[in-house]
């Protein structure tokens, strides 16, 4: 017997509907919480400090995101000094996602070809009134959503920092 026929009380129907909505909302929250946050090297934190914090707060391979802003991008270079390269490699092994800002690539502060292949350049927000990100979407059409934070706050901070 379906609870949405006339034999079930309206209260039972309301309770089941509320439970269904709660489960759906909880699933979305758990998905965003199953990954770590965004750590920024270059805003008062060295690459090493941001990396260590990200790895400490995201144990056992929980994905987290590390944005590096010049001058804290040296560790991302193919020719990074061994101590910095070792920290970078630990971040990658710990399921960290490495970002730089596309604006820093575009203005010549970062040479993307000189960085390790695991680094992705991310764009900031498009100009007001732009249709580069379709209405109701969170990503540019050529971006892979799986590469970005699912949590709105982390994605907002990432785009805002790179704007």
16 and 66 housed in the same domain: no
81 in the same domain as 11: no
The rounded mean pLDDT for the chain is 85
Q: What is the pLDDT of residue 129?
A: 85
Instruction: Decide if pLDDT at 89 tops 70.
Output: yes
Sequential DSSP letters for the chain = --TTSTTS-HHHHHHHHHHHHHHHHHHHHHHHHTS--EEEETSSS-HHHHHHHHHHHS-TT--EEEEE-TTTTGGGBTT--HHHHHHHHHHHHTTEEEEEEHHHHHTTS--GGGB-TTEEEE--PPPTT--SS-TT-SS-TTS-GGGS-SSHHHHHHHHHHT-
pLDDT of residue 9: 55
Residue 101 and residue 22 share a domain:
no
Is the model's pLDDT at 81 over the cut of 90?
yes
Distances 161 to 41, 56, 67, 100 between C-alpha atoms, Å: 11, 23, 9, 10
Cβ proximity of 3 and 12 under 8 Å: yes
Residue 65 above 90 pLDDT?
yes
pLDDT exceeds cutoff 50 at 84: yes
pLDDT of residue 135: 85
Domain that holds residue 8: 1-33
Residues 45, 119 within the same domain = yes
Tell me, yes or no, whether 125 and 64 share the same domain. yes
Residue length, the chain?
163
Do 20 and 94 fall within a single domain?
Answer: no
pLDDT of residue 163 exceeding 80, the answer is: yes
* pTM of model > 0.85: no
Confidence band (pLDDT; 50, 70, 90) for 34?
A: confident
Residue 136 is part of a domain; what is its CATH number? 3.40.1260
| pLDDT on residue 20 | 41
Q: 2 with 48, same domain?
A: no
Residue 26 and residue 94 in one domain: no
Based on the fold, state whether residues 43 and 118 are members of the same structural domain: yes
Q: Kindly state whether residues 28 and 42 are assigned to the same domain.
A: no
- Split into its structural domains, the chain has a count of 2
89 with 135, same domain?
yes
């Amino acid at each position: 017997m379906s609870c949405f026929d006339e034999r079930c009380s309206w209260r039972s129907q309301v309770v089941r509907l509320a439970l269904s909505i709660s489960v759906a909302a909880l699933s979305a929250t758990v998905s965003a919480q199953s990954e770590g946050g965004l750590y920024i090297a270059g805003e008062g934190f060295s690459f090493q400090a941001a990396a260590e914090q990200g790895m400490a707060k995201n144990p056992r391979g929980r994905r987290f995101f590390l944005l590096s802003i010049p001058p804290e991008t040296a560790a991302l270079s193919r020719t990074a000094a061994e101590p910095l390269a070792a920290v970078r490699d630990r971040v990658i092994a710990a399921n960290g996602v490495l970002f730089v800002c596309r604006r820093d690539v575009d203005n010549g502060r970062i040479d993307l070809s000189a960085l390790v292949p695991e680094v992705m350049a991310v764009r900031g927000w498009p100009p007001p009134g732009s249709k580069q990100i379709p209405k109701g979407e969170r990503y540019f059409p050529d971006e892979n959503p799986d590469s970005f934070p699912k949590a709105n706050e982390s994605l907002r901070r990432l785009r805002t920092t790179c704007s």
